[in-house]
Structure 1
């Protein structure tokens, strides 16, 4: 065997080895990247990149299920570099692999594809895969029958065929991600060692990427969520100038630095880097910093407008939230519970055994069953402990919702039922009125909330059934909710409904065109839980003090229910 043949045999053996372990070119530094200044050097993955590569490789080696990864990311951690590096290594060395890169626009796609072309161009010539075609749109490998193609999400029609590696860049910024990905993802076989990596910085809430990440976080889809907070990146740290006094603040232009320091064990150098970026790169916009350099998934996905509630406190609430003792439903007038997580009725505390007057109240927001309708949402509040003990959430017909509320009221010692009537000042007929009317007709003995009003004809004070949400009462709801959240770190009342916490995180205050203040969920999100819980806080204050039935009601007035009992 001559030297040339020996060289070819060696090449084939090395390439065969890499085909079985495509991480080799990455580990050995055979792939070259370029700095912002134009300098070329071997790519040595940083910690975040290596963690992503290890995740993909572990799933590749397991060869059990398709590899589907969502990456909500801080800026400049090199996620695109890592994704394209893996894409190039796989399609150029592993036989019969077809890769597709989809940028959010033409420039984004070209920038990332230039990285791929550099990987190929700078690869060790002895091992570089031979190509059949190389141009601005694709690299076609003749030796492996593989290829890498680029595309832009700005194109109206995008279709793929036989894709085995897909990298979607800045997916949250796709003009129409549902339509774009709906045409591409089904073309990728649902078999082991097919790879989809979708990465993006945050771009608000209610979009396809945010909802997919949230579903992955809850374990509701087959995607793996790969999130790395900014503070895990070693380069996001700056030495303090001599004499600089960095005392973490609990509020102000940099947010709650004490919370970040204690929760994530941040060093003064990391806090100083954070301050510098907020001041210099984000023009003092704390919310923009959190979106670009998130510490949590909630910070990555933020809506436009100003948050009504402190996300730091809501995160603490979520961390301490407990699963319900039981879940279930109400059927044929009976409460049916189980210990699994199925069912639209959640119970965190069972009714106390002693017979009480005025201990519990139920606040009910009304929705509907038509397409796009809000959810029906109700909470049972224990006025003695201040805790939420049960909840209903779902789409129900009015007659069903009435039955559920009535049965729940009877179970919790004839709890008062406050049903929202979400109508204009004229109080014209609406779904909330339907629920109230049905309740009064079907269950005249129901303990329903009555509000005081001035009759239009007699001009005398009278009462009407239901909680009327208007501009004045909504202000009161928001004020009570804010007070509850702000006082939670001290009172630490059990607050276990993660769905409610999630809604609170996307509840914002904005200014209307006429300059009026408005409180609503960000576009694409719901606030049914927020409203029903807030109504409960307002109504609970108007009720008589709770007392055991064997006792006489207290005549002394106090705002503290527990004090009144004692």
Structure 2
């Protein structure tokens, strides 16, 4: 019996471990099919990293904890570290671990070196399970991810951990090739380091099971749908019909089609639809978070398909009244748009050129010189990886309250950093910032090597400002919410023009893969563009005021013909050379 448990971890979990159900009753640990599959990944020596996107209360963390428990009893000299998003989750998980440990068969209980508040260490195998809270600072997070003795790192609800990128970097460099790295979480939408990892596996890897399982080398990504879960059901009334509301009817029909395609009985799918109606009604009555609709919240917490976890949030935050009013405003102003590229040779000023697949820039208004602190450039480049998500760059004219240039695409830090620097210098801006949640580590050396004399970058500090020439405000989730609120207010009172927010021009999504193919569509693209525009406004709002310089700006007529606009932009680019280096396109 004990020998079989050593060879078959699924069998051992089923037969040796006890847990409590939602009614606090003690029951055997009977695994669902997806939980068995996760355990099989952890037993597979060819798999090092396991990424899991799950629905709410799926039992993923507990199943993996059960594997850790059995593994610590059968494997010698192995340390497992589990990181949670907060102290409450850490305490709760350790309670689950203690419960399972105390109910092991006598033959498996063994003597313990320690059984403290966060650590369970077995003397006979010298293997341990340590449960901790992820660090609140980047340095603490990096240290926890970089523990020299950890053989298995398991991070739960990683989408809610602010410094996850630091943990990832530490884990990749410290966990041995024979070890395991596990990241699992419910969704907060298309953002963050975990989303970047998932997108990378989906882009580079092979889809092994349609819409659910992908593999890229020694990394697997598993999406777990809430639809088959038997607990997410409500009674189906007699004469059940899909909703008469047009949007709800489409959504319920989509769920019905997905369920039937999975081979589920129609009454089971209808019971899930009834659960969805009931849960959305609960959210409507109890949730006061105006930035997230009950429908979207249900999709994130109980996703039916992977696409539900990355649905764009921008349209929900900006209500239809704001969108319609802003669309009418933009159509009335009717700006002309040039899609160009900006290139720079060593020692030369940036110049306009024809659009290229790796360098497409929307020029809305030509630069006007003669003012200090007038223009501000901001970029959100996803995780420093080409293809992990759409990247966004904006240049803001603080004097007119207008986005004057933008760039979007699958840039990565290789193309995104030089392009941002060129756009910033083209508009003669002395201020520069970026989203550090993904690519901050890759940006700093590139900016340092570029030697742009008139561009100042932001240091990585926490919510404070350093010397006047540095931006020191970290672009975090909380600040993003406030920034979107500011953007919404500015659009409402017409004090800001953003020509290409996604609800104006959703069909023009400029993005190309690393082989030059495209254009590509990307889930989360709209949300990223809205967030980046908000970031540009928020960061620029914290800069010194715009002041007039000695040289008066050249007048620019917005309603001129396209040829005149091209001529003036080219004239503006033909300024005296400035010192600098760099060789890129």
Q: TM-score, normalised by structure 1?
A: 0.55
User: Is residue 48–residue 77 contact of structure 1 (8 Å, CA) maintained in 2?
Assistant: no
Distance in 2 of aligned mates of 1:277 and 1:422: 51
The structure with the larger Rg is 1
Kindly state the Cα deviation for residue 53 of structure 1 after the two structures are TM-superposed: 1.9
Matched residue, 2:158: 171
Kindly state the Cα deviation for residue 215 of structure 1 after the two structures are TM-superposed: 2.0
Q: Does 1:64 align with 2:59?
A: no
**CA deviation digits over 1:301-335, x for unaligned, max 9?**
4566435999xxxxxxxxxxxxxxxxxx999xxxx
**CA deviation digits over 1:225-266, x for unaligned, max 9?**
1111211323323231235544465415x8732233234437
1:152 pairs with one of 128, 133, 137: 133
1:345 pairs with one of 357, 364, 376: 357
User: How do 1:460-539 residues align onto structure 2 when only pairs under 5 Å count?
Assistant: 474=498, 480-481=504-505, 497-499=519-521, 502-504=524-526, 506-508=528-530
Matched residue, 2:116: 135
Kindly state the Cα deviation for residue 201 of structure 1 after the two structures are TM-superposed: 1.3
Q: Does 1:287 align with 2:285?
A: no
User: Is residue 242–residue 252 contact of structure 2 (8 Å, CA) maintained in 1?
Assistant: no
Distance in 2 of aligned mates of 1:371 and 1:477: 15
Distance 1:181 1:473, change over 3 A: closer
User: How do 1:337-416 residues align onto structure 2 when only pairs under 5 Å count?
Assistant: 345=357, 372=379, 394-395=415-416
User: How do 1:181-200 residues align onto structure 2 when only pairs under 5 Å count?
Assistant: 181-189=168-176, 191-192=177-178, 194-200=179-185
User: Is residue 17–residue 103 contact of structure 2 (8 Å, CA) maintained in 1?
Assistant: yes
Distance in 2 of aligned mates of 1:397 and 1:105: 38
Q: Does 1:232 align with 2:243?
A: no
Distance in 2 of aligned mates of 1:473 and 1:371: 16
The residue matched to 1:120 in structure 2 has which SS?
helix
Q: Does 1:26 align with 2:13?
A: yes
Distance in 2 of aligned mates of 1:131 and 1:392: 51
Distance 1:500 1:128, change over 3 A: closer
Distance in 2 of aligned mates of 1:280 and 1:135: 39
Distance in 2 of aligned mates of 1:286 and 1:85: 33
User: How do 1:53-92 residues align onto structure 2 when only pairs under 5 Å count?
Assistant: 53-57=39-43, 60=44, 63-65=45-47, 67-92=48-73
Moved more, 95-104 or 296-305: 296-305
Distance in 2 of aligned mates of 1:362 and 1:499: 18
User: Is residue 6–residue 12 contact of structure 2 (8 Å, CA) maintained in 1?
Assistant: no
User: Is residue 101–residue 149 contact of structure 1 (8 Å, CA) maintained in 2?
Assistant: yes
2:252 pairs with one of 233, 249, 257: 257
Distance 1:392 1:98, change over 3 A: closer
Distance in 1 of aligned mates of 2:166 and 2:23: 38
Distance 1:140 1:231, change over 3 A: same
**CA deviation digits over 1:197-245, x for unaligned, max 9?**
1111123443222222222222377532111121132332323123554
Distance in 2 of aligned mates of 1:162 and 1:478: 47
Matched residue, 2:322: none
User: Is residue 502–residue 530 contact of structure 2 (8 Å, CA) maintained in 1?
Assistant: no
Matched residue, 2:309: 300
Distance 1:500 1:299, change over 3 A: closer
The residue matched to 2:82 in structure 1 has which SS?
strand
Distance in 1 of aligned mates of 2:530 and 2:99: 45
Q: TM-score, normalised by structure 2?
A: 0.53
Matched residue, 1:223: 219
User: Is residue 136–residue 162 contact of structure 2 (8 Å, CA) maintained in 1?
Assistant: no
The residue matched to 1:19 in structure 2 has which SS?
helix
Distance 1:155 1:130, change over 3 A: farther
Moved more, 473-482 or 254-263: 473-482
Distance 1:103 1:429, change over 3 A: closer
The residue matched to 2:9 in structure 1 has which SS?
coil
**RMSD of aligned Cα (Å):** 4.9
2:237 pairs with one of 238, 241, 244: 241
The residue matched to 2:66 in structure 1 has which SS?
helix
Extract unaligned runs of 5+ from structure 1.
1-13, 311-328, 332-343, 347-360, 378-390, 402-419, 432-469, 486-494, 510-517, 525-541, 544-566
Q: Does 1:209 align with 2:194?
A: yes
Distance in 2 of aligned mates of 1:56 and 1:176: 25
Distance 1:99 1:113, change over 3 A: same
User: Is residue 172–residue 209 contact of structure 1 (8 Å, CA) maintained in 2?
Assistant: yes
2:277 pairs with one of 275, 278, 285: 275
Distance in 1 of aligned mates of 2:276 and 2:256: 11
Q: Does 1:42 align with 2:28?
A: yes
Aligned residues: 377
Kindly state the Cα deviation for residue 505 of structure 1 after the two structures are TM-superposed: 5.1
Moved more, 124-133 or 254-263: 254-263
Kindly state the Cα deviation for residue 106 of structure 1 after the two structures are TM-superposed: 1.3
Distance 1:290 1:137, change over 3 A: same
Distance 1:129 1:306, change over 3 A: farther
Kindly state the Cα deviation for residue 421 of structure 1 after the two structures are TM-superposed: 12
User: Is residue 379–residue 392 contact of structure 2 (8 Å, CA) maintained in 1?
Assistant: no
Distance in 1 of aligned mates of 2:88 and 2:27: 24
Distance in 2 of aligned mates of 1:195 and 1:148: 14
Moved more, 47-56 or 29-38: 47-56
Distance 1:481 1:263, change over 3 A: farther
**CA deviation digits over 1:338-378, x for unaligned, max 9?**
xxxxxx739xxxxxxxxxxxxxx99668999x99587799x
**CA deviation digits over 1:443-464, x for unaligned, max 9?**
xxxxxxxxxxxxxxxxxxxxxx
